[in-house]
Amino acid sequence: MLLFSFLVISCFRKVVHGEPLVPCYFIFGDSLVDNGNNNNLQTSAKANHAPYGIDLPGVGPSGRFTNGRTMVDFIAQDLGFADFIPPHATASGNDLLRGVNYASASAGILPETGSNLGTHISLDDQLQNHQNVTKAIIASVGEAKTTQLLNSCLYTVGMGSNDFINNYFVKGSPSSQKTLEQYATLLIDRYTSQLKALYGFGARKIALFQLGPVGCTPFAVATSGKNACVQEMNDAVTIFNNKLRPLVDQLNDAFTDANFTVVNGLAMPTSWLNVVAAIPCCPTDQTGLCLPNSTPCLTRSIRAFFDGFHPTETVHRIVAATAYRAYIPTEVYPTDIYHLVTS
Ligand SMILES: *[C@@H]1O[C@H](CO)[C@@H](O)[C@H](O)[C@H]1NC(C)=O
Ligand SMILES: *[C@@H]1O[C@H](CO)[C@@H](O)[C@H](O)[C@H]1NC(C)=O
Protein backbone atom coordinates (compact mmCIF):
# COMPACT_ATOMS: atom_id res chain seq x y z
CA MET A 1 0.00 0.00 0.00
CA LEU A 2 2.80 2.34 1.02
CA LEU A 3 4.69 1.47 -2.13
CA PHE A 4 1.57 2.03 -4.22
CA SER A 5 0.97 5.51 -2.76
CA PHE A 6 4.58 6.44 -3.40
CA LEU A 7 4.29 5.39 -7.02
CA VAL A 8 1.11 7.37 -7.52
CA ILE A 9 2.65 10.45 -5.91
CA SER A 10 5.80 10.08 -7.97
CA CYS A 11 3.88 9.77 -11.21
CA PHE A 12 2.10 13.03 -10.56
CA ARG A 13 5.16 15.01 -9.61
CA LYS A 14 5.66 17.62 -12.26
CA VAL A 15 8.93 18.23 -13.98
CA VAL A 16 9.47 21.95 -13.75
CA HIS A 17 10.52 23.75 -16.88
CA GLY A 18 12.59 26.90 -16.97
CA GLU A 19 15.19 27.70 -14.35
CA PRO A 20 15.98 25.04 -11.76
CA LEU A 21 15.46 25.85 -8.05
CA VAL A 22 19.24 25.96 -7.58
CA PRO A 23 21.79 26.94 -10.24
CA CYS A 24 23.94 23.86 -9.61
CA TYR A 25 23.96 20.43 -7.99
CA PHE A 26 27.14 18.60 -6.90
CA ILE A 27 27.00 14.88 -6.10
CA PHE A 28 29.40 12.83 -3.95
CA GLY A 29 28.86 9.11 -3.51
CA ASP A 30 29.35 5.49 -4.47
CA SER A 31 27.78 3.02 -6.91
CA LEU A 32 24.26 3.96 -5.88
CA VAL A 33 24.70 7.24 -7.74
CA ASP A 34 27.80 6.74 -9.94
CA ASN A 35 26.87 7.64 -13.51
CA GLY A 36 30.06 6.77 -15.36
CA ASN A 37 33.10 7.80 -13.33
CA ASN A 38 34.40 4.22 -13.07
CA ASN A 39 34.06 3.40 -16.77
CA ASN A 40 37.74 3.91 -17.51
CA LEU A 41 39.18 2.82 -14.16
CA GLN A 42 40.95 -0.47 -13.50
CA THR A 43 38.24 -2.07 -11.42
CA SER A 44 35.63 -4.80 -11.58
CA ALA A 45 33.11 -2.26 -10.18
CA LYS A 46 31.68 -0.95 -13.44
CA ALA A 47 28.28 -1.06 -15.05
CA ASN A 48 28.85 0.31 -18.54
CA HIS A 49 27.38 -2.73 -20.25
CA ALA A 50 23.88 -4.11 -20.93
CA PRO A 51 21.53 -4.87 -19.28
CA TYR A 52 22.37 -1.83 -17.10
CA GLY A 53 20.51 1.20 -18.40
CA ILE A 54 17.89 -0.89 -20.22
CA ASP A 55 15.15 1.53 -19.09
CA LEU A 56 17.09 4.66 -19.94
CA PRO A 57 16.22 5.25 -23.60
CA GLY A 58 18.76 7.31 -25.49
CA VAL A 59 21.33 6.85 -22.74
CA GLY A 60 21.67 3.07 -22.31
CA PRO A 61 24.49 1.52 -20.27
CA SER A 62 26.17 4.72 -19.01
CA GLY A 63 27.84 3.30 -15.93
CA ARG A 64 24.75 3.63 -13.70
CA PHE A 65 24.31 0.51 -11.55
CA THR A 66 20.61 0.13 -12.22
CA ASN A 67 18.09 -0.33 -15.02
CA GLY A 68 17.11 3.34 -15.28
CA ARG A 69 17.56 6.59 -13.40
CA THR A 70 19.22 6.83 -10.00
CA MET A 71 17.98 8.79 -6.99
CA VAL A 72 20.18 11.77 -7.89
CA ASP A 73 18.80 11.78 -11.44
CA PHE A 74 15.30 12.04 -9.95
CA ILE A 75 16.42 14.76 -7.52
CA ALA A 76 17.95 16.73 -10.41
CA GLN A 77 14.65 16.42 -12.28
CA ASP A 78 12.70 17.48 -9.20
CA LEU A 79 14.91 20.55 -8.91
CA GLY A 80 14.03 21.42 -12.49
CA PHE A 81 17.25 20.56 -14.32
CA ALA A 82 16.56 19.74 -17.95
CA ASP A 83 19.56 17.37 -18.15
CA PHE A 84 21.18 14.87 -15.82
CA ILE A 85 24.19 16.13 -13.84
CA PRO A 86 27.23 14.93 -15.86
CA PRO A 87 29.92 12.60 -14.47
CA HIS A 88 33.19 14.30 -13.49
CA ALA A 89 35.01 11.95 -15.87
CA THR A 90 33.49 13.70 -18.91
CA ALA A 91 32.24 17.09 -17.64
CA SER A 92 34.00 20.17 -18.94
CA GLY A 93 33.55 23.82 -19.84
CA ASN A 94 30.18 25.37 -19.05
CA ASP A 95 28.87 21.99 -17.79
CA LEU A 96 30.80 22.63 -14.59
CA LEU A 97 28.65 25.66 -13.73
CA ARG A 98 25.55 23.45 -13.34
CA GLY A 99 27.26 20.89 -11.12
CA VAL A 100 29.15 17.64 -11.42
CA ASN A 101 28.65 14.06 -10.25
CA TYR A 102 31.86 12.80 -8.59
CA ALA A 103 30.46 9.45 -7.38
CA SER A 104 32.54 6.32 -7.83
CA ALA A 105 31.47 2.71 -7.37
CA SER A 106 33.20 0.81 -4.53
CA ALA A 107 34.47 4.06 -2.98
CA GLY A 108 34.09 4.97 0.66
CA ILE A 109 34.89 7.39 3.41
CA LEU A 110 38.22 5.62 3.99
CA PRO A 111 40.66 5.83 1.06
CA GLU A 112 41.46 2.10 1.12
CA THR A 113 37.80 1.02 0.98
CA GLY A 114 37.02 -0.79 -2.29
CA SER A 115 40.64 -1.64 -3.07
CA ASN A 116 39.61 -5.30 -3.06
CA LEU A 117 37.81 -4.56 -6.37
CA GLY A 118 40.41 -2.29 -7.98
CA THR A 119 40.85 1.45 -8.27
CA HIS A 120 38.16 3.93 -7.29
CA ILE A 121 37.72 7.59 -6.41
CA SER A 122 37.49 7.77 -2.62
CA LEU A 123 35.62 10.60 -0.93
CA ASP A 124 38.96 12.35 -0.30
CA ASP A 125 39.71 12.14 -4.04
CA GLN A 126 36.19 13.27 -4.94
CA LEU A 127 36.77 16.35 -2.79
CA GLN A 128 40.10 16.90 -4.52
CA ASN A 129 38.32 16.76 -7.87
CA HIS A 130 35.77 19.24 -6.56
CA GLN A 131 38.50 21.62 -5.47
CA ASN A 132 39.90 21.34 -8.95
CA VAL A 133 36.51 22.08 -10.48
CA THR A 134 36.07 25.15 -8.25
CA LYS A 135 39.42 26.42 -9.56
CA ALA A 136 38.21 25.93 -13.13
CA ILE A 137 35.00 27.84 -12.32
CA ILE A 138 37.02 30.69 -10.79
CA ALA A 139 39.13 30.82 -13.94
CA SER A 140 35.96 31.09 -16.00
CA VAL A 141 33.71 33.52 -14.05
CA GLY A 142 35.96 35.05 -11.40
CA GLU A 143 36.31 34.66 -7.64
CA ALA A 144 33.29 36.67 -6.46
CA LYS A 145 30.79 35.07 -8.83
CA THR A 146 32.16 31.62 -8.02
CA THR A 147 31.67 32.09 -4.28
CA GLN A 148 28.11 33.28 -4.85
CA LEU A 149 27.40 30.35 -7.17
CA LEU A 150 28.92 27.64 -4.95
CA ASN A 151 27.07 29.01 -1.89
CA SER A 152 23.72 28.53 -3.62
CA CYS A 153 24.17 25.01 -5.04
CA LEU A 154 22.76 21.81 -3.61
CA TYR A 155 25.29 19.18 -2.47
CA THR A 156 24.37 15.58 -1.68
CA VAL A 157 26.76 13.10 -0.10
CA GLY A 158 26.00 9.38 0.22
CA MET A 159 28.96 7.47 1.59
CA GLY A 160 29.67 4.62 3.97
CA SER A 161 28.05 1.46 2.55
CA ASN A 162 31.32 0.30 1.00
CA ASP A 163 33.22 1.02 4.19
CA PHE A 164 31.19 -1.91 5.53
CA ILE A 165 30.67 -4.12 2.45
CA ASN A 166 34.10 -3.63 0.84
CA ASN A 167 36.18 -3.07 3.95
CA TYR A 168 34.93 -4.00 7.44
CA PHE A 169 33.16 -7.19 6.32
CA VAL A 170 35.96 -8.33 3.98
CA LYS A 171 37.56 -11.32 5.66
CA GLY A 172 40.98 -10.52 7.09
CA SER A 173 40.80 -6.75 6.50
CA PRO A 174 42.65 -4.69 9.13
CA SER A 175 39.39 -2.83 9.90
CA SER A 176 37.67 -6.04 10.95
CA GLN A 177 39.98 -6.10 13.97
CA LYS A 178 38.10 -3.12 15.40
CA THR A 179 34.83 -3.28 17.26
CA LEU A 180 31.87 -1.96 15.30
CA GLU A 181 31.55 0.98 17.66
CA GLN A 182 35.25 1.88 17.20
CA TYR A 183 34.95 1.53 13.44
CA ALA A 184 31.76 3.60 13.16
CA THR A 185 33.40 6.33 15.28
CA LEU A 186 36.46 6.28 13.03
CA LEU A 187 34.23 6.64 9.95
CA ILE A 188 32.22 9.49 11.46
CA ASP A 189 35.39 11.37 12.50
CA ARG A 190 36.76 11.11 8.98
CA TYR A 191 33.37 12.03 7.48
CA THR A 192 33.19 15.09 9.75
CA SER A 193 36.52 16.41 8.42
CA GLN A 194 35.47 15.71 4.84
CA LEU A 195 32.19 17.59 5.27
CA LYS A 196 34.06 20.50 6.85
CA ALA A 197 36.33 20.53 3.79
CA LEU A 198 33.26 20.63 1.54
CA TYR A 199 31.97 23.60 3.54
CA GLY A 200 35.40 25.16 3.09
CA PHE A 201 34.95 24.93 -0.69
CA GLY A 202 31.77 27.01 -0.41
CA ALA A 203 29.01 24.44 0.13
CA ARG A 204 26.12 25.79 2.24
CA LYS A 205 23.20 23.44 1.45
CA ILE A 206 24.28 19.88 2.12
CA ALA A 207 22.14 16.74 2.35
CA LEU A 208 23.61 13.46 3.60
CA PHE A 209 22.11 10.09 2.69
CA GLN A 210 21.64 7.53 5.42
CA LEU A 211 22.83 4.02 4.55
CA GLY A 212 20.41 1.31 3.48
CA PRO A 213 20.07 -2.20 4.90
CA VAL A 214 23.21 -3.66 3.29
CA GLY A 215 22.53 -7.02 4.93
CA CYS A 216 19.41 -7.42 2.79
CA THR A 217 21.02 -7.32 -0.65
CA PRO A 218 20.55 -10.52 -2.68
CA PHE A 219 24.34 -10.95 -2.56
CA ALA A 220 24.47 -10.75 1.25
CA VAL A 221 21.44 -13.02 1.60
CA ALA A 222 22.87 -15.60 -0.83
CA THR A 223 26.32 -15.53 0.77
CA SER A 224 24.88 -16.05 4.24
CA GLY A 225 23.23 -19.25 3.02
CA LYS A 226 20.27 -18.58 5.33
CA ASN A 227 17.74 -17.05 2.97
CA ALA A 228 17.37 -14.08 5.31
CA CYS A 229 18.87 -10.61 5.75
CA VAL A 230 22.25 -10.61 7.48
CA GLN A 231 21.42 -8.99 10.79
CA GLU A 232 25.05 -8.34 11.71
CA MET A 233 25.49 -6.15 8.61
CA ASN A 234 22.25 -4.25 9.16
CA ASP A 235 23.16 -3.68 12.81
CA ALA A 236 26.54 -2.31 11.72
CA VAL A 237 25.08 0.31 9.37
CA THR A 238 22.50 1.21 12.02
CA ILE A 239 25.33 2.14 14.40
CA PHE A 240 26.71 4.43 11.68
CA ASN A 241 23.28 5.82 10.74
CA ASN A 242 22.50 6.67 14.36
CA LYS A 243 25.53 8.94 14.44
CA LEU A 244 24.40 11.02 11.45
CA ARG A 245 21.76 13.12 13.21
CA PRO A 246 24.17 14.19 15.98
CA LEU A 247 26.71 14.93 13.25
CA VAL A 248 24.23 17.15 11.42
CA ASP A 249 23.40 18.96 14.68
CA GLN A 250 27.09 19.50 15.33
CA LEU A 251 27.73 20.89 11.83
CA ASN A 252 24.64 23.14 11.92
CA ASP A 253 25.81 24.54 15.27
CA ALA A 254 29.39 25.03 14.05
CA PHE A 255 28.43 26.65 10.73
CA THR A 256 25.48 28.95 11.28
CA ASP A 257 25.56 30.18 7.66
CA ALA A 258 25.04 26.66 6.31
CA ASN A 259 22.30 24.04 6.48
CA PHE A 260 23.05 20.35 6.75
CA THR A 261 20.35 17.68 6.72
CA VAL A 262 20.23 13.90 6.67
CA VAL A 263 17.74 11.96 4.54
CA ASN A 264 16.90 8.30 4.49
CA GLY A 265 18.95 6.96 1.61
CA LEU A 266 17.17 3.67 1.18
CA ALA A 267 13.74 4.03 2.59
CA MET A 268 12.73 0.53 1.65
CA PRO A 269 9.95 -0.61 3.91
CA THR A 270 11.30 -3.72 5.66
CA SER A 271 8.06 -5.52 4.94
CA TRP A 272 8.67 -4.98 1.25
CA LEU A 273 12.15 -6.47 1.53
CA ASN A 274 10.61 -9.57 3.04
CA VAL A 275 7.73 -9.77 0.60
CA VAL A 276 9.82 -9.31 -2.54
CA ALA A 277 12.27 -12.16 -2.35
CA ALA A 278 15.82 -10.83 -2.51
CA ILE A 279 16.42 -12.16 -6.00
CA PRO A 280 18.32 -10.00 -8.48
CA CYS A 281 16.44 -9.08 -11.65
CA CYS A 282 19.45 -9.89 -13.86
CA PRO A 283 21.58 -13.04 -13.86
CA THR A 284 24.68 -12.11 -11.84
CA ASP A 285 28.34 -13.10 -11.82
CA GLN A 286 30.21 -14.09 -8.67
CA THR A 287 30.78 -10.43 -7.77
CA GLY A 288 27.03 -9.75 -7.75
CA LEU A 289 26.98 -7.60 -10.91
CA CYS A 290 24.82 -8.35 -13.97
CA LEU A 291 26.41 -10.72 -16.47
CA PRO A 292 27.20 -8.60 -19.54
CA ASN A 293 24.44 -8.69 -22.15
CA SER A 294 22.26 -11.02 -20.08
CA THR A 295 18.48 -10.77 -20.23
CA PRO A 296 16.97 -9.13 -17.14
CA CYS A 297 13.55 -9.86 -15.65
CA LEU A 298 10.44 -8.24 -17.12
CA THR A 299 9.02 -7.27 -13.73
CA ARG A 300 11.60 -4.53 -13.15
CA SER A 301 9.04 -1.95 -12.06
CA ILE A 302 7.97 -4.04 -9.07
CA ARG A 303 11.30 -5.54 -8.07
CA ALA A 304 13.61 -4.24 -5.33
CA PHE A 305 17.00 -5.27 -6.71
CA PHE A 306 18.35 -5.05 -10.22
CA ASP A 307 21.63 -6.90 -9.55
CA GLY A 308 23.08 -8.51 -6.43
CA PHE A 309 23.62 -5.17 -4.67
CA HIS A 310 21.83 -2.36 -6.40
CA PRO A 311 18.21 -1.31 -6.31
CA THR A 312 15.96 -0.91 -9.33
CA GLU A 313 14.89 2.45 -10.70
CA THR A 314 11.61 1.99 -8.82
CA VAL A 315 13.42 2.00 -5.49
CA HIS A 316 15.57 4.95 -6.57
CA ARG A 317 12.37 6.83 -7.41
CA ILE A 318 10.93 6.16 -3.95
CA VAL A 319 14.15 7.16 -2.20
CA ALA A 320 14.32 10.40 -4.18
CA ALA A 321 10.68 11.21 -3.45
CA THR A 322 11.27 10.65 0.27
CA ALA A 323 14.43 12.73 0.34
CA TYR A 324 13.10 15.55 -1.82
CA ARG A 325 9.67 16.10 -0.34
CA ALA A 326 9.33 14.10 2.84
CA TYR A 327 5.87 12.59 2.80
CA ILE A 328 7.06 10.72 5.88
CA PRO A 329 8.61 13.51 8.01
CA THR A 330 10.58 11.08 10.19
CA GLU A 331 12.62 10.11 7.12
CA VAL A 332 14.47 13.46 7.06
CA TYR A 333 16.27 15.48 9.74
CA PRO A 334 15.80 18.32 10.17
CA THR A 335 14.37 19.00 6.71
CA ASP A 336 13.82 17.60 3.23
CA ILE A 337 15.77 18.68 0.17
CA TYR A 338 12.97 20.90 -1.14
CA HIS A 339 12.97 22.96 2.06
CA LEU A 340 16.77 22.88 2.18
CA VAL A 341 17.03 24.55 -1.22
CA THR A 342 14.10 26.95 -0.88
CA SER A 343 14.92 28.32 2.61
C1 LIG B 1 42.80 19.42 -12.37
O2 LIG B 1 42.35 20.05 -13.55
C3 LIG B 1 43.33 20.20 -14.53
C4 LIG B 1 42.77 21.05 -15.66
O5 LIG B 1 41.47 20.66 -16.01
C6 LIG B 1 43.81 18.83 -14.97
O7 LIG B 1 44.79 18.94 -15.96
C8 LIG B 1 44.38 18.08 -13.74
O9 LIG B 1 44.73 16.77 -14.09
C10 LIG B 1 43.33 18.03 -12.65
N11 LIG B 1 43.89 17.47 -11.45
C12 LIG B 1 43.26 16.53 -10.77
C13 LIG B 1 43.91 16.10 -9.49
O14 LIG B 1 42.20 16.04 -11.12
C1 LIG C 1 19.19 27.71 6.54
O2 LIG C 1 17.88 27.52 7.02
C3 LIG C 1 17.32 28.66 7.65
C4 LIG C 1 16.00 28.28 8.27
O5 LIG C 1 15.25 27.45 7.42
C6 LIG C 1 17.22 29.78 6.61
O7 LIG C 1 16.70 30.94 7.21
C8 LIG C 1 18.58 30.05 6.02
O9 LIG C 1 18.50 31.01 5.00
C10 LIG C 1 19.21 28.80 5.47
N11 LIG C 1 20.58 29.06 5.03
C12 LIG C 1 21.07 28.55 3.89
C13 LIG C 1 22.49 28.87 3.59
O14 LIG C 1 20.42 27.83 3.16
pLDDT digits (tens, 9 = 90+) for 170-195: 999 999 999 999 999 999 999 999 99
Among protein residues, the one with the nearest Cα to ligand 1's atom 10 is 132
The answer to whether residue 141 scores a pLDDT higher than 70 is: yes
pLDDT of residue 273: 55
The answer to whether residue 14 scores a pLDDT higher than 80 is: no
Q: Under a CB-based contact definition with an 8 Å cutoff, are residues 74 and 156 in contact?
A: no
Nearest-ligand number for the alpha carbon of 135: 1
The answer to whether residue 98 scores a pLDDT higher than 80 is: yes
Among protein residues, the one with the nearest Cα to ligand 1's atom 11 is 132
The answer to whether residue 96 scores a pLDDT higher than 90 is: yes
Mean pLDDT of 232-245: 95
Q: How many whole angstroms from 199 Cα to the centroid of ligand 2?
A: 15
pLDDT of residue 326: 82
**Short-list 161, 163, 157, CA closest to 112:** 163
Among protein residues, the one with the nearest Cα to ligand 2's atom 9 is 343
The answer to whether residue 56 scores a pLDDT higher than 60 is: yes
**Short-list 204, 333, 218, 199, CA closest to 265:** 333
Domains in the chain (CATH in brackets) are 2-342 (3.40.50)
Q: Would the CB of 343 count as within 6 Å of ligand 2?
A: yes
Rg (CA), the chain: 19
pLDDT of residue 18: 79
**Short-list 63, 59, 40, 1, CA closest to 310:** 63
Q: What is the pTM of this model?
A: 0.93
Q: Would the CB of 330 count as within 6 Å of ligand 2?
A: no
Q: Would the CB of 128 count as within 6 Å of ligand 1?
A: yes
- Average per-residue pLDDT for the chain: 91
β-strand pairing of 154-158 with 205-209: parallel
Beta-carbon neighbour count of residue 249 at 10 Å? Answer: 14
Helix (H) or strand (E) holding 263: strand 259-263
Q: Under a CB-based contact definition with an 8 Å cutoff, are residues 48 and 289 in contact?
A: no
Mean pLDDT of 251-279: 77
Phi, psi of 80 (to 5 degrees): 105, 10
For the CA of 132, the nearest atom of ligand 1: 1
**Residue 82 gets which letter from DSSP?**
S
Q: Would the CB of 303 count as within 6 Å of ligand 2?
A: no
Sheet holding 25-29, edge to edge: 25-29, 154-158, 205-209, 259-263, 332-333
Mean pLDDT of 49-73: 97
Between CA 161 and CA 167 the distance in angstroms is: 9
For the CA of 136, the nearest atom of ligand 1: 5
Find the angle CA(31)-CA(35)-CA(39) to the nearest 5 degrees.
Answer: 85
Q: What percent of the chain has pLDDT over 90?
A: 83
Q: What percent of the chain has pLDDT over 70?
A: 91
Question: Which three-class secondary structure state does DSSP give residue 196?
Answer: helix
The answer to whether residue 229 scores a pLDDT higher than 90 is: no
For the CA of 204, the nearest atom of ligand 2: 13
pLDDT of residue 268: 56
Go through the chain and tell me how many residues it has. 343
Between CA 233 and CA 170 the distance in angstroms is: 12
Q: How many whole angstroms from 159 Cα to the centroid of ligand 1?
A: 23
Tens-digit pLDDT profile for residues 308-332: 999 999 999 999 999 999 877 788 9
Q: Give the model's confidence band at 15: pLDDT under 50 very low, under 70 low, under 90 confident, else very high.
A: very low
